[in-house]
Amino acid sequence: MRLSIGSIAQRRAAALVAAIALTVGACGGSSASASPSNGPDYVVLATTSVFADIAKLALGDTVTINTIVPAGVDVHTFEPSPADAQKLTDADLIVMNGLGLDEWVLTLLEGAGKTEADVLELGEDLTGFEYIESTEEEHEAGAEEGETDEHGHGGTDPHIWLDPAGAQLYMERIAKRVSDDRADLADRIALAFGEGVDQLTALKNDVAAKYAAIPAEKRKIVTFHDAFGYYARAYGITIVGVAVEAPGQDPSAQEIAALIEAIRAAGVTSIFSEVQFPSKVLDQIAAETGAVVLEDLYSDALGAAPADTYVGAMQKNADAILASFK
State the residues that interact with Zn ion by CB under 5 A: 227, 300
Sheet harboring 43-46: ordered strands across?
A: 64-67, 43-46, 93-96, 119-121
Q: Is the peptide bond before 306 cis (omega within 30 degrees of 0)?
A: yes
For 11, how many CA atoms within 13 A lie in the half-sphere containing its CB?
A: 3
For 12, how many CA atoms within 13 A lie in the half-sphere containing its CB?
A: 14
One-letter amino acid for residue 208 of the chain? A
In angstroms, rounded to a whole number, what is the distance separating the alpha carbons of residues 108 and 115?
A: 10
- Please name the residue ranges forming H helices in the chain: 8-27, 49-59, 82-90, 136-144, 164-181, 186-212, 229-235, 253-266, 280-289, 310-324
Strands 93-96 and 43-46: parallel
In angstroms, rounded to a whole number, what is the distance separating the alpha carbons of residues 136 and 132?
A: 12
Shortest Cβ 225–Zn ion spacing (Å): 6
Shortest Cβ 76–Zn ion spacing (Å): 6
Shortest Cβ 28–Zn ion spacing (Å): 40
- Compare residues 197 and 301 and give the one whose CB is closer to Zn ion: 301
- Compare residues 269 and 279 and give the one whose CB is closer to Zn ion: 279
- Compare residues 74 and 118 and give the one whose CB is closer to Zn ion: 74
Closest CA to 111 of 71, 148, 84, 142: 84
In angstroms, rounded to a whole number, what is the distance separating the alpha carbons of residues 196 and 192?
A: 6
- Compare residues 14 and 234 and give the one whose CB is closer to Zn ion: 234
User: Do residues 95 and 53 make contact, with C-beta atoms less than 8 angstroms apart?
Assistant: no
- Compare residues 53 and 181 and give the one whose CB is closer to Zn ion: 53
- Compare residues 158 and 164 and give the one whose CB is closer to Zn ion: 158
Closest CA to 310 of 56, 60, 43, 9: 56
Shortest Cβ 243–Zn ion spacing (Å): 13
- DSSP annotation of 271: E
- Compare residues 192 and 244 and give the one whose CB is closer to Zn ion: 244
Shortest Cβ 9–Zn ion spacing (Å): 29
Shortest Cβ 140–Zn ion spacing (Å): 21
In angstroms, rounded to a whole number, what is the distance separating the alpha carbons of residues 312 and 308?
A: 7
Shortest Cβ 310–Zn ion spacing (Å): 15
- Compare residues 196 and 247 and give the one whose CB is closer to Zn ion: 247
Shortest Cβ 101–Zn ion spacing (Å): 6
